[in-house]
Amino acid sequence: MKKILLFLIIFFIIVVDRETILAKQTEFYVKPTFTKQQINKHENYYDLLLSPGQSQKLVFEIVNPTSTKVSVNIGKGTAITTTGGSVNYSGSSKYVDSSIDSVIGNHMSVSKTSVTLDPNTKTQITISLKMPSKSIAGILAGGVSFTEVGNPNNISQNAINSRVAYTYAILARQRLDLVQANLNFLKYNPNNKGQKNQLFSLKVQNDKPSFLNQLEIVVDVKNKKNANTVYNYKKKMMQMAPNSNFLFSVPLNGKTIKPGRYIATETAYYSKDANGKYIDSAGTKFKYKKTYTHQLYISPKKAKLINNTQKKNRTKSMVNFWMWIISGIMLVLATIAMILLFLLNRQHRQLLFLKKDIDSK
């Protein structure tokens, strides 16, 4: 029994220690060197005030503190908004919005696109940024990414093999006063193909060279005949990059919806302000509000596809839930059994010692 317990303790120590060691072996870190053009010296990203046509060198130091060799890819790009409502600072220029005036990714060049560092060494790479010659009212937003180069043959679902990556934002402006962001609802996609867990989607745009912060979109779907609400959805704490757009998807979240005609209303709130005149259902005040209304038709075929998908997803979730419950119960029972065996074994040894003691007398 002691051997079994000792084996389990050693096994867990080896597994945890192995994960810690392997995680440490894949780490590197990056240190930016800020220039006098930096507006806020306390930020950990570049926020530069530059004149039209001015060039600026941005230096990054890549450090490998480990005992193994590390290879890193370096990329640069323009800020875009992801489908989840967050900002990707090193996005591809092919995804930028049509409202953008100057694509900052096209105004940056990288001294090296990849580096390999020997154990316990460091190196520097330089980003050359040139401000457009024309006058710009708002912010140009982009960034540079540093991604560990892994061995494809060693990649699995194990978290130990996850790659280390860093992205540093690079913001450039010609003056301190900025324009206000502006939200537009552009395009309604009815999801005619009956995609999984999706009622419909909308293309949302920020057409100004400024960040759109603290975005909240509330969706209300009403029956066209009686104006009764059949579905609500809300997503909060989103952000949009300057001059960007993203596809805002409305999931069913396990709900079912009958075939029929509906009226959907999307209400967007952004820029929280204690003195704002627009208030959401939770009582939060915002400076700005935008509303969009459109008709929604759910065919019997589409309703069947979406609702069946939801049912399958719920069934799969329940199966996974009970598998975890059963596994947990089995683990507890196995632990109890081990403890009982240990106690019975100790009691048996005590009885043997007692018997020997009685016989000797």
pLDDT digits (tens, 9 = 90+) for 48-84: 999 999 999 999 999 999 999 999 999 999 999 999 9
Our CA dihedral for 346, 349, 354, 360, rounded to 10 degrees, sits at: -160
As for how many domains the chain has, the answer is 2
Q: In this structure, are 280 and 132 located in the same domain?
A: no
pLDDT of residue 163: 65
pLDDT digits (tens, 9 = 90+) for 280-321: 999 999 999 999 999 999 999 899 888 865 444 454 566 677
pLDDT of residue 174: 95
Quote the CA–CA distance of 141 and 242 in Å, as a whole number. Answer: 7
pLDDT digits (tens, 9 = 90+) for 164-207: 889 999 999 999 998 999 999 998 998 877 777 889 999 999 99
90, part of any domain: yes
Answer whether residue 109 shows pLDDT above 80. yes
- Is residue 205 within 8 A of residue 186, CB to CB? The reply is yes
pLDDT of residue 23: 44
CATH code assigned at 212: 2.60.40.10
Last residue of a domain, one of 258, 276, 303: 303
pTM score = 0.75
Q: In this structure, are 239 and 151 located in the same domain?
A: no
SS3 78: strand
337, part of any domain: no
Which of 305, 310, 215, 223 lies closest to 264, judged by CA?
Answer: 223
Last residue of a domain, one of 142, 173, 204: 173
Which of 172, 284, 295 lies closest to 218, judged by CA?
Answer: 284
Q: In this structure, are 13 and 153 located in the same domain?
A: yes
Distances (CA, A) of 36 to 57, 61, 282: 11, 18, 43
Q: In this structure, are 136 and 277 located in the same domain?
A: no
Q: In this structure, are 107 and 243 located in the same domain?
A: no
Q: In this structure, are 230 and 131 located in the same domain?
A: no
Q: In this structure, are 15 and 164 located in the same domain?
A: yes
| Element of type H or E holding 350 | helix 300-360
308, part of any domain: no
Range of the domain at 263: 183-303
